[in-house]
């Protein structure tokens, strides 16, 4: 509710800078590996979904100027609140990946699908412990999944509160992805 006044301003900024829709929708895996459409404010000039989805990297030319600001402040994630309200996501949980990456990571890590035991989250333990962003280094997805599995094994309301608090501090401090 606090972010509601920002939504129209973000939408106008996106439309003024580039053509295309304000919201980006991409298929991802939810709880029990069901397919869900997640929503984000569009931050790139492309809207990849399907067999070829390239992760954004630092300095990626596909990211728009307003997109860089939205990503740095995590404002691009706000529309996922609709996924939370629909019961497809939680505020905290393992972050969902694009379907093609989900399959790729499942082929690399045998225990990867175990992270689908609970609803995916807008933020998670992996994100607040430094395992955020593109998974370009071979061990980066393993570290992220290990954090996801630690979250699942140790879930509590208190842990969710701590992760939300750390997420808020990271956003305010500007310690987020580009």
Both tokens of residue 28? 């991802």
| Domains in the chain: boundaries | 6-173
In the predicted model, what is the mean pLDDT of residues 129-149? Answer: 79
pLDDT in tens, 45-90: 766 565 666 666 677 777 889 998 998 888 999 999 999 999 999 9
The model's pTM: 0.84
pLDDT bin (cut points 50, 70, 90) of residue 178 is: very low
% of the chain beyond a pLDDT of 70: 87
Q: What is the per-residue pLDDT across 12-48, written as a single tens digit (0 to 9) for each?
A: 999 999 888 999 898 899 999 999 999 999 988 766 5
Kind of pairing, strands 35-41 and 23-29? antiparallel
Gap between the terminal Cα atoms of the chain: 25
Among 105, 117, 106, 110, smallest CA distance to 149 is for 117
């Amino acid at each position: 509710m606090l972010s509601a006044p920002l939504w129209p301003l973000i939408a106008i900024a996106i439309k003024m800078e580039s053509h295309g829709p304000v919201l980006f929708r991409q298929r991802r895996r939810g709880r029990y590996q069901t397919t869900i459409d997640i929503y984000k404010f569009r931050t790139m000039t492309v809207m990849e979904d399907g067999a070829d989805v390239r992760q954004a990297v630092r300095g990626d030319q596909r990211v728009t100027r307003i997109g860089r600001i939205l990503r740095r402040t995590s404002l691009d994630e706000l529309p996922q609140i609709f996924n939370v309200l629909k019961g497809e996501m939680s505020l905290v949980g393992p972050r969902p990946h694009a379907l093609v990456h989900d399959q790729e990571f499942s082929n690399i890590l045998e225990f990867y699908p175990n992270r689908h035991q609970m609803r995916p989250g807008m933020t998670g333990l992996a994100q607040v412990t430094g395992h955020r962003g593109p998974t370009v280094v071979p061990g980066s997805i393993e570290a992220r999944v290990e954090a996801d599995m630690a979250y699942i094994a140790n879930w509590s309301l208190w842990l969710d509160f701590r992760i939300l608090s750390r997420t808020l501090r990271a956003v305010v401090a500007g310690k987020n992805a580009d």
